[in-house]
Amino acid sequence: MHLLHAREEERKLIAREIHDELGQILAAIKMDLQWIEKKSVQSPAPVQARIHDVVGFADKTIQMVHRICSELRPGILDDLGLVEAIEWLGIDFSRKNGIPCHVDFTATESTIGTKSTTLVFRIVQEALINVAHHARASNCSVELWEENRTLIVRIQDDGVGITEAQSNSPSAFGLIGIRERVQGLQGGMKITGTPENGTTLMIQIPMPPEGTLP
């Protein structure tokens, strides 16, 4: 658990440094390029076209930096909490992959604990990445609820269905990462697949009596 939390703190630090240092430099470069572009209206057409292309490259690089920072440490998790962050994951997943994703979060966020919220977020994030890359699904859903002092996380899709060999493969790095995080939270995980009828990932994370996850 301590190692997993340390990794997340390192991700957070790297994301902040990239955003604050590289992001600001790129923004300044883009502003200077836009100034040059405005001043070059009398320049030959090929020169104007080249400047316009460079401005476009700078803009794409800034977008890439924002994406990398978001993947390292989503700001929404710190700003708005786990509920909104999970909902954002579903919306972002649908936008990028064209697959509807229904999110139902009825667990009480205050019982999950600050350190554990990041790991729960990463579990859902990695599960959705697996759906996007392997499931060939038309729909998926993410559900989180409490039951008998246990946080239940269920991710389902209607894709091709994972096989037992695939779920236990040493090259299934996404599932390996999920297992590591679940084990770090003293939880359990079960994944089942039905050919051409989808995959269900069930995760159970115990909540201690005082109401916060470890």
Q: Could you state, in chain order, the average pLDDT of each consecutive group of 10 residues for the chain (214 residues)?
A: 61 72 82 85 84 87 80 75 90 94 86 76 91 93 91 94 90 87 90 92 81 46
Q: Give residue for tokens 């992959």.
A: 97
Q: Is residue 214 part of a domain?
A: no
Q: Is residue 158 part of a domain?
A: yes
Q: Which of 155, 212, 150 is nearest to 187 (CA)?
A: 150
Rounded-to-integer distance, Cα 137 and Cα 131, Å: 7
Query: Three-class SS of residue 159?
Result: coil
The domain boundary residue, chosen from 72, 94, 109: 72
Q: Do both 101 and 25 map to the same domain? A: no
Q: Which of 147, 73, 148 is nearest to 117 (CA)?
A: 73
The two three-digit tokens of residue 134, written as one number = 């392997």
The domain boundary residue, chosen from 20, 46, 72: 72
Cα R_g (the chain), whole angstroms? 21
Q: Is residue 213 part of a domain?
A: no
Q: CATH code at 149?
A: 3.30.565.10
Total structural domains within the chain: 2
Helix ranges (H only) for the chain are 2-17, 23-39, 45-72, 75-79, 82-97, 114-130, 164-167, 173-184
The domain boundary residue, chosen from 51, 72, 93: 72
The pLDDT, as a whole number, for residue 213 is 45
Non-local CB neighbours of 115 within 8 Å, separated by 6+ positions: 1, 5, 213, 214
Strand 150-157 versus strand 198-206 pairing type: antiparallel
Q: Give residue for tokens 């997340």.
A: 8
Rounded-to-integer distance, Cα 145 and Cα 124, Å: 13
User: 160-199 b/e with 16+ CB inside 10 Å = b?
Assistant: bbbeeebeeeeebebbebbbebbebbebebebebeeeebb
The pLDDT, as a whole number, for residue 208 is 61
Q: Is residue 145 part of a domain?
A: yes
Q: Do both 110 and 67 map to the same domain? A: no
Domain span including residue 33: 2-72
Q: Is residue 14 part of a domain?
A: yes
Q: Do both 56 and 100 map to the same domain? A: no
Q: Do both 81 and 68 map to the same domain? A: no
What is the CB-side half-sphere exposure of residue 64 using CA atoms within 13 A? 8
Q: Do both 104 and 202 map to the same domain? A: yes
Burial of 53 (0-12, 13-18, 19+ CB in 10 A): exposed
Q: Do both 60 and 95 map to the same domain? A: no
